[in-house]
Every structure is written in structure tokens, then in C-alpha cells.
Amino acid sequence: MENLLVTGGMGFIGSNFIRYVLNSKKDFNVINVDKLTYAGNPENLKDIQKSNLNKYKFYKADVCDFETICKIIKKENINYIINFAAESHVDRSIDNPILFCNSNTIGTQILLNAAIKFNIRKFVQISTDEVYGALGFNDDPFTEKTLLSPNSPYSASKASADLIVNAYYKTFNIPINITRCSNNYGPYQFPEKLIPLMINNALNDTELPVYGQGINVRDWIYVEDHCQAILDVLLNGRIGEIYNIGGNSEIKNIDLVKKILKILNKSETLISFVKDRPGHDLRYAINHEKITKELGWTPKVKLDNGLKMTVDWYSNNKEWLKNVITKEYLEYYKKHYKNC
């Protein structure tokens, strides 16, 4: 059996990845470490906790706590580390950049130090396409050779982490991979992010806040497609390589919101345009030819189908939404969308 340490495994992508691994790989045990911030929700893996008692363990811990991380790695005889642990919301990074630098950058370095100490077989850093900066409407998509040019405290903290991971590979010969993915969507995503925010508000006939005029373009990928790509990289990715992961689904934010409203049979009059956020990148787009050519991975879920599945999930899991929408989140929401 292989013992896999997943950091940030109570978050959106991390919890989906744990679920995917346990359902598809019988020879893996998963040890989940998460400090349970507002976006790390034990509800995300409640069923896994009950049904995989011999293959899944959870530890509440901070990746910045070197001693605790080392104790867990030693106790569980960890072979691999996948680092999902990160503060991930751009708006929150503008409010509190220090928190993002600590969690995303320093936390990654501490995990790498632990990987050195215990001779981890591979360290996979989960990054983002946002480290590349922004594209114009007619620019070619990002490749792995695109220069890093982050434009927010969030993306800068992730770019810094990527550079540290690569430096540890070059300096200490740690076996690593870095993955950079486009925007994820699907079940269990915290409702401050665009798609679940729009779904939740539409379900409650509340105004849907759209930044600027909604012309910003994103490439969307269904979270399970992303999970498959990460597992492919873990098992077969060439040591030291970076892999871009994209969904082949570029769309303007306003058009995406209209698709959600159409699925829910709601009026477009619910849309409310709000003041744009500072440094809002115009467009992201991913070229994933490398991972397709080397590992045979391609996204399977088309955007229209994925949106329908996601809307259905949130519609059928209103109790989950109720549990994660805290007083803190409601205060944050009111602060950022004052004219809604």
C-alpha cells in the first residue's frame, strides 16, 4: 500500500481529489491534513470518514507547523505529498496579503523541508494558471514556458511557492511536479467563488453580483477532470516537470452567469453589475498539449454538462450550503457587494 499525504484536503479541490483517489485506487491510503479555515469543511468528506475507516485518516494541523507535519509523516509512513493547502480567493488576498504569503508560500517551504527529512518519493505542488498573469482577447493560451507575471497577492504567493518548489528540486534534488490548472467548478465549492455564488443566489432569487461588465474570460474545468489529471501526474509525470491542466471551455463571466440562470429557469434581471475588483485579470486560457501528449489526459466533461451537474448538486444539497454559509461569510459578502 502507498501512503499519500494530502494537505488542504477539506477544501473544494482537495476533498474531491481524496474522494476520487479512494474510489479509483485500491492501493492507496490517504492521510488528510487541514487546519479547517472557513473554506475547509468536514462536511465535504463526512461520508468518506464513515466508509473508509481503514484507508483514510484526518489530522487537524497547519502546514506551517513543521514539528506536527513531521510527526504525521513519520507516524503514517508517508510516501507522497500533494499540496492543495492554500488560501485561494483573490478578493480575500487583497484584504489580507500576509495571510496568503504565510499559508501559500511559507507553508509550501515547510512541507518541502519535511519532504527532505523523510525522503518523500514525490512532492506535487498544486498551483494555478493565475501565476502567468493575464492574457488579451487575442493572445495565445498559457504554456508551461510562459513567464510568471502574477497580478494579485494570491497569484503572487502561489508563484512564489512554485519558484521555491523548483528551487528545492534543483538544489536538493527533491522529486517534484507542479500542476497549473484553469478555473475549477463542481460539488463542494465554497459559495464565495463565482459559480456556486451565482447558483446559490439564483436559487434564493437574490441579485447576482457580476464584476464590471462581465467581459472577463475564464477557462473552466470540471473538478473531477482536474483530479484525474493530478493523479496522472503523481503516478506518471516526469520528475521536475510542470504540467498545465485546462478545460477547453473559455467563456465570458456574463455569458457563464446567463447559462446558470437558464438552467435554473431564472430571469436575467437578477444580474447586478458591481464595481470591478482591483487588478482584475482580463483573460486566462490554458494550453494543455504537454499533459495530453505525455500522459494521455484530456478533459472529459463539457461545460454545459458540467454546469448542469453542478447546478443539480447545489439544488439537492441546500443543507450543505446552509451549514457553510456562516455569519463571517455573510459579513464578507455584504462588504464586497455593497450595492446588491
CA distances from 180 to 6, 97, 146, 165, 333 (A): 17, 21, 12, 13, 28
Q: In this structure, is the dihedral angle defined by the CA atoms of residues 179, 107, 81 and 53, taken in order, positive or negative?
A: negative
Other CB atoms within 10 Å distance of the CB of residue 146: 19
Is 129 considered catalytic here? yes
Q: What is the distance between the alpha carbons of residues 295 and 297, in angstroms, rounded to a whole number?
A: 6
Choice among 56, 80, 132, 154 that is catalytic: 154
Is 205 considered catalytic here? no
Collect all residues with Cβ–Cβ distance below 8 Å to 216 and sequence separation of at least 6.
252, 253, 280, 281, 282, 283
Identity of the amino acid at 329: Y
Q: What is the distance between the alpha carbons of residues 285 and 304, in angstroms, rounded to a whole number?
A: 18
Choice among 34, 62, 130, 219 that is catalytic: 130
Choice among 34, 62, 87, 129 that is catalytic: 129
Count, residues in the chain? 340
* 186 contacts 224 by C-beta, under 8 angstroms: yes
CA distances from 59 to 5, 22, 30, 68 (A): 10, 17, 11, 10
Helix axes 253-263, 303-316, angle to 10 degrees: 60
Bridge-based pairing state of the strands 242-245 and 176-181: parallel
DSSP per-residue codes, 225-264:
HHHHHHHHHHHHPPTT-EEEE--S-EEEHHHHHHHHHHHT
The catalytic site residues sit at 129-130, 154
